[in-house]
Structure 1
Amino acid sequence: MSLSSAISIAQQAFSNTAQQTAIVSKNIANAGNADYSRRLALLGSTANGAQVVSIYRAQNEALLKQSIAGMGEASGQARLREGLELMKSALGGNNYETAPSKLLADFRNSLQTFAATPGNKSIAATAVSDAGDLADSLNKASRSVQDMRENADKEIALEVDKLNGLLAEFEKANNAVKAATAQGTDPNDALDERDKILKQVSEIVGISTTTRGNNDTVIFTTDGTVLFENIPRSVTFASQNTYDATTVGNKIYVDGVPIAAGTGADTTAKGKLAALVQLRDDVGPKFQSQLDEIARGLVTLFQEGGQPGLFTWGSPGIPPVGIVPGMASKITVNALAKANPLMLRDGGFDGTSNNPTGNAGYTDLLDGFVNKMGENMAFDPLSGLDSSSNIMNFATSSVGWLEQFRKTASTADDSKQALLSRTAEALSKQTGVSIDEELSLLLDLEQSYKASAKLVSTVDAMMAALMEAVR
């Protein structure tokens, strides 16, 4: 080996070490970055000896796709759970203290107490007040449901805007990957950015991907609609300003195809959008229909002469069997009962008193009301509960339905989050940065540098000896 060859080899070794050290330093700097994949400088044999021929980016496509799918499922389940937790809080939290079922039971107890002492006006006033609390709880629960739907609608609009922005960013990253691949330059930073965007997109809408020539990626929604191919597809949504029980939310469209809502407590929703649509168009309306049926039941049970009695709902007459959208938001206690609580005992809301003499021991109406509250009546099966039940059990079943739905959603959320965590951990082991490994590699590079330096030092000494000999 000539001295010039030795110098050339040493120079190449220094160059290799410098590139490898730069890669290791970059890895260490991104050790805490979940969106960074570890790099490794690969050496190859050339005419001038070993040299860095490419930069390898750690990747595992199967785990990445599984992780992206898991993010969509976990995101959708978490958003459904969050919405159900808000509905639970609106009804008084863990014990549902302000739920209509609780206040209905309190009202019935007041009726029974009043029936035991029908001449006591203060107890009559308490019973009417409890009836007012019951009506208020239905009003507030109804408003909470519609507020939840309205907020979900607004959040959908924000998430759609965010999704369109991410797709525009994905186009840039994808173009950068294709260009670098075609030109033979390093595409790794662009690949990291593209994978990062894919993860963010999957939290909004469930996706799958396929990769074509030049590392070009196409994105589909989980139902097969193209979300991105060369350019982003249009995602559109028209938000509603306000919501009541009669409002029907608008659909979200991807390239003209509507996004389907999630179904079930262990929801099929992948991504926030499907879960938000489920809350807005399925869970909220279902619970609203149960509240409306409770309100209809109260107006029906306490009617007099085919007209509303103790409870009114802003319309004449008694509604037939069937859901009256928004009735729970309108029910109130008759102003006549507030002015004269003894009308609850005597009747007269229809203009004819059942106790014209004002007998203080008259209990026929009160006993009848208490009994009717324990008798079965017809309810609309579209409410999702029994079509034949007494109003007490129906109201209790409504809270039970919500709590069971919430509990199942919570359990499913824990499971999906755990699965996502395990998948992310497995992916991190394959593509993430280990500080211990990088520091170990740095020590190896230090030894390589020392060897190269020793070679240069030896060549330098030989050159010096040669020059001395020439003199």
Structure 2
Amino acid sequence: MSISAALSTAQQIFNNTGTQTSVTSTNIANTQNANYAKRTAVLVSNGNGALVASTTREQNEPLLRQTIASTALASGQSTLAAGLEEIRSLLGGNDYETSMSTKMTTLLNNLGAYAAKPSEATLAATAVSSAQDVVNTLRTTSTELQAIRARTDAELKTQVDKLNNLLSQFEAANTAVVQAQAINRQDNNALDTRDTLLKQISEIVGISSTIRAGGDMALYTSDGTTLFETIPRAVTFTPTKTYTAATEGSVLRIDGFELKPGVGGETSASGSLQALLQIRDDIAPTFQSQLDEIARGLIVAFAETGPNDDQPALAGLFTNGIDKTVNDSGSRVVGLAATISVNAFVKDKPTLLRDGDINGASPAYAWNPTADSSYSALLDHYSQMMQAKGSFDEDTAVGGTDIDLMSFASDSTGWLEALRSSSVTATETKTAMQSRAAEALSSETGVSLDEELSLLLDIEQSYKAATKLVSTIDEMISALLTAAG
């Protein structure tokens, strides 16, 4: 080997070790960065030994797709679980102390106590007070439930804005990748950014991706709607600030197509948007319908029809808050839970609960016209009516025929708890799946500190060999110069 060739080889080694050290140092600096893919300096042979031809980036498309899919499912499930937990809080603690079932059981027990001692005015007042507690709970729960829908709607708007922003960033990263490939170069930083954005987007909406010619990537939602193709597609949503039981939230559209809500406790929602829609448009309205049916059932159970059940029904202990009508159709009255009231006449005179003709409409409505202090038939009648079989709206998810009011209220609590329980279990499962997918991806494309430190030692040895070669060349040149005089 000539001296010039040796110098060229040494220079090449220095260049290689410099590049390799830079790449390895960058890898080590990103050891804890889950969104960084390991870089490798690729060496190829040339006339003077080896040359760093390129810096490649570790990729595993199947694992990346699995991570994105599992991230979307875990995000949707955890969002639903959080929403159900918030609704569940309206029932109180583990004993469901603020549930309708608990409040109505207290009312039933107080009616029984009053029936046992109908002469006790304090027991009459206690029964009416427990009825007021039932009303307050219904109205408060209904109001809070609609507030949850309003907050969910606001979160939908926040998530939509975030998604549109991420898609804008994705466009910039995708453009950088395409432009780099157009000049036969690979922009590793842009690829990292694009993959990171994919993960963030999948938390909001489930996606699938396709790599096209030139490295261009197109995105589609899990139901096939185009989300990004050269440019971002419009994700539109108009928030609704105030909610009542009759309010329907606005539609969320992607590229003009409506995004459907998730279904079930182990939800089909892929991403947070579908889960939020499920809470706002399915779960909360269904629970509201159950509250409305409980309110209607109470009005029917305590309606006045006279001792012979031959008088037109008038609202008794409970009214709709507007008039004295009684709806015994077996169908929900939308928003009734928010307006139900205790009859003002009973508040003023609690013993009317024992005697009847609460509204003073006609003596024909009176069960105890002489106000006999030992009379309890009407109180027993109310207790029986709360446990009598009837019909409840089937659209409430727990309704149907041959169901009593107490069982309906209990089934409502059970329905929400079953939904929440299955959601919690599914959240644990899907979160574990997402974690395992992310770990598998990291093990394939992430940085191993041990490997990088070992590589640094190898690079150090190459550098030492180059310095030894330069030292030898220096000695040879010195010897030649000395020999030449």
TM-score bucket of the superposed structures, by smaller chain: over 0.9
8 Å CA contact retained: 1:88, 1:96 = no
Q: Paired residue for 2:448?
A: 434
Select the residue among 420, 428, 443 that pairs with 1:414.
Answer: 428
Deviation at 1:94, TM superposition (A): 2.3
Q: Paired residue for 1:10?
A: 10
Deviation at 1:96, TM superposition (A): 1.4
Task: Describe how 1:60-139 pairs up with structure 2 within 5 A.
Answer: 60-139=60-139
Deviation at 1:137, TM superposition (A): 1.0
Deviations 1:282-306 (A, max 9, x none): 1111111111111000000101131
8 Å CA contact retained: 2:345, 2:359 = no
Aligned partners of 1:184, 1:456: CA distance in 2, in Å? 35
Deviation at 1:45, TM superposition (A): 1.2
Select the residue among 323, 326, 330 that pairs with 2:339.
Answer: 330
Aligned partners of 2:353, 2:212: CA distance in 1, in Å? 76
* TM-score normalised according to structure 2 size: 0.96
SS of alignment partner, residue 470 of structure 2? helix
Aligned Cα root-mean-square deviation (Å): 1.0
Deviation at 1:144, TM superposition (A): 2.0
Deviation at 1:334, TM superposition (A): 1.2
SS of alignment partner, residue 360 of structure 1? coil
Q: Is residue 392 of structure 2 the alignment partner of residue 383 of structure 1? A: no
Deviations 1:347-394 (A, max 9, x none): 222314432222111111101001111111111111111412111111
Deviations 1:72-96 (A, max 9, x none): 1000000000000001112103221
8 Å CA contact retained: 1:88, 1:94 = no
Counterpart AA for 2:54: S
Aligned partners of 1:25, 1:344: CA distance in 2, in Å? 83
Counterpart AA for 2:17: T
Q: Which moved more, 1:109-118 or 1:94-103?
A: 94-103
Q: Paired residue for 1:268?
A: 268
Deviations 1:293-336 (A, max 9, x none): 11000000101131111011123311132011111111121121
Select the residue among 330, 343, 353 that pairs with 1:344.
Answer: 353
Aligned partners of 2:202, 2:186: CA distance in 1, in Å? 26
Q: Paired residue for 1:361?
A: 374
SS of alignment partner, residue 94 of structure 1? coil
Q: Paired residue for 2:317?
A: 310
Counterpart AA for 2:469: L
Q: Paired residue for 2:301?
A: 301
Counterpart AA for 1:238: T
* TM-score normalised according to structure 1 size: 0.99
Aligned partners of 1:470, 1:181: CA distance in 2, in Å? 55
Aligned partners of 2:371, 2:296: CA distance in 1, in Å? 30
Aligned partners of 1:400, 1:68: CA distance in 2, in Å? 34
8 Å CA contact retained: 1:24, 1:442 = yes
Task: Describe how 1:253-264 pairs up with structure 2 within 5 A.
Answer: 253-264=253-264
Q: Is residue 387 of structure 2 the alignment partner of residue 374 of structure 1? A: yes
Q: Paired residue for 1:198?
A: 198
Q: Paired residue for 1:403?
A: 417
Deviation at 1:236, TM superposition (A): 0.3
Counterpart AA for 2:439: E
Aligned partners of 1:128, 1:203: CA distance in 2, in Å? 50
Task: List alignment gaps of at least 5 residues for structure 1.
Answer: none
Task: Describe how 1:152-231 pairs up with structure 2 within 5 A.
Answer: 152-231=152-231
SS of alignment partner, residue 283 of structure 1? helix
How many residues align? The count is: 471
Deviation at 1:36, TM superposition (A): 0.4
Aligned partners of 1:171, 1:374: CA distance in 2, in Å? 62
Aligned partners of 2:36, 2:240: CA distance in 1, in Å? 40
Q: Paired residue for 2:57?
A: 57
Aligned partners of 1:243, 1:435: CA distance in 2, in Å? 54
Provide the identity percentage.
Answer: 50
SS of alignment partner, residue 454 of structure 2? helix
8 Å CA contact retained: 2:265, 2:419 = yes
Aligned partners of 1:465, 1:126: CA distance in 2, in Å? 115
Counterpart AA for 1:218: A
Aligned partners of 2:164, 2:94: CA distance in 1, in Å? 39
Aligned partners of 1:454, 1:94: CA distance in 2, in Å? 76
SS of alignment partner, residue 227 of structure 1? strand
8 Å CA contact retained: 1:14, 1:449 = yes
